[in-house]
Amino acid sequence: MRRTAASVFACLLLSTSAYASGFGLRDASASTLGLSYAGNAANGSVPTTMVFNPATVNDVETFDFAVSNTGLLPDTTGDFTATNAAGLPVSGPSHSVDIVNTALVPSLALRYRLTDKIALGVQFSTPWGMITNYKPNPVTRYYATMSDVKTANMMFIAGYQLTPEFSVAGGLQVQYMKGRLSKAIDVGSITYGLYRQGQFPYIGQLPGGNDGYVELRAQDWAAGWIVGAEWKPLPNLSVGASYRSAVYNRLKGNEYFTLDAVGKALSGATGLFANGPASGKLHNPPVVTLGAKWDIDPQWSLMVGADWTGWSIVKTLTVHSGNPHQPDDLTPFHYHDTWFGSVGVQYKPTDDWKFSLGTGFDDTPTDTAYRTPGIPDGGRYWVSAGVGYRVTKNIDLDLSAARLIAEKANIALNQADAGNSLRGSLNGTVHMSVTLVGLELNYHL
């Protein structure tokens, strides 16, 4: 059963990167990307907005579905300095480019009106994900060399029209997550320290000179829920709100070590760094989404939106090894809750064409003292535009683009902080900007 579902999700598990705050992705609707997703909680014109508010399922007339793809083209550079556990400078490249990978974020959605009061919907999306990758042997290596987390989320939605003006909906989230996290281990500093204490022989170990590497590969299935409402107090005005629950992931898999002769000697003597099972919790936060859409006249519409993400649920990533000799590996995040706000305007000169503009700001949940090179996140300013064309009476095609410019992301990780004693200290600055290009096809009866 799980193998079958995983095959269904395979088309969604593409390379994804963190372009919303933290490791969030909100790129589920290419047709509204041109509005910077403003007003999506109150905009049921396309089925892909159900992920923002399930109550938009009630806006379907008979049946519709959409296929959306958004390409993300980042430009990221970072400059770092580091000292290892022995207090010595870490060797290797200090300037990194293309830290965040290019990505393709897909989404599929369909809606069906069952009765005058009841509508049903299904949506596949990738709400969370990230890929960061550093050159071989960077100075960041004791904190991160590669971080790759992907999700595939399927929502089953049922909506009910309570009155002509007010509708509600709710649904179930079923989510698959898989991750690969890798970094270096300063085996030389560990063994040299033990040698100085008379607990390990001298066999040529050198702080920073006998690195080992570890990679965690793990996956998990988890579930959550989503509820929402949409109110149309006037024929030309709609407002909406939704709540998407947290999804509590406990990733289970294996950790794999690559060691040189010194590392293998330490592993044989102590039982450390042996391949075997491992697990870690990486929760996805709850999200509250608000939106409004005002049709000023038949040609012009104004949209505003905001969402709150409860990132404070993400405190520490603890990787627990099945090896009783291997201590837990801690990565403190200490995220704080964030807001995203956007405003957009749409112009329809004819029934066949529409043009969109939008702008917004997305805050970051990270702080300098805990920001990691695996998620070098900063607040983002959005500017977007889009064009839509009605190809036939049943088919619409939308093309959108956006430019995201991130605030400078400073990193200042201290060896004295919890979990960092064997990693040393790392300081740096990451600059990032992203171009998003989205294409969506909508079919409706």
pLDDT digits (tens, 9 = 90+) for 339-372: 999 999 999 999 999 999 999 999 999 999 999 9
What tens digit of pLDDT does each residue of 136-150 get? 889 999 999 999 999
At 391, which CATH number? 2.40.160.60
**Residue 92 region, left (φ>0) first, then alpha (ψ -120 to 50), else beta?**
left
Least confident of 3-12, 221-230, 328-337: 3-12
The total number of structural domains in the chain stands at 1
Cβ neighbours around 232 below 10 Å, total? 18
Tell me the residue length of the chain.
445
pLDDT of residue 214: 95
Could you tell me if 345 and 326 are in contact, meaning their C-beta atoms sit under 8 angstroms apart?
A: no
Give the pair of three-digit tokens for residue 302. Answer: 């104004």
pLDDT of residue 101: 85
Give the pair of three-digit tokens for residue 187. Answer: 């085996």
HSE on the CB side for 169, CA within 13 Å? Answer: 37
pLDDT of residue 439: 97
162 vs 167: CA distance, rounded Å: 5
pLDDT of residue 129: 87
Average pLDDT over residues 64-83: 94
pLDDT of residue 103: 86
Looking at the predicted structure, is the pLDDT value of residue 10 above 70? no
pLDDT of residue 51: 96
Looking at the predicted structure, is the pLDDT value of residue 12 above 70? no
38 vs 305: CA distance, rounded Å: 5
Residue 19 pLDDT level (bands cut at 50, 70, 90): low
DSSP string across 266-304:
HHHHH--S--EEEEEE-PBPPEEEEEEEEE-SSSEEEEE
pLDDT of residue 272: 94
**3-state DSSP call for residue 4?**
helix
Q: What percentage of the chain exceeds 70 in pLDDT? A: 95
Cβ neighbors of 385 (< 8 A, separation 6 or more) are 34, 355, 356, 357, 358, 400, 401, 402
pLDDT of residue 20: 61
> Could you list the residue range(s) of the whole structural domain that residue 264 is in?
2-444
Give the pair of three-digit tokens for residue 51. Answer: 């992920």
42 vs 166: CA distance, rounded Å: 12
* Bridge partners of residue 174, in order along the sequence: 154, 223
Least confident of 4-13, 88-97, 269-278: 4-13
Q: Provide the mean pLDDT of the chain.
A: 92
| Whole-prediction pTM | 0.91
pLDDT of residue 11: 46
330 vs 318: CA distance, rounded Å: 5
Residue 9 pLDDT level (bands cut at 50, 70, 90): very low
Could you tell me if 420 and 412 are in contact, meaning their C-beta atoms sit under 8 angstroms apart?
A: no
**Residue 442 region, left (φ>0) first, then alpha (ψ -120 to 50), else beta?**
beta
Give the pair of three-digit tokens for residue 422. Answer: 């064997």
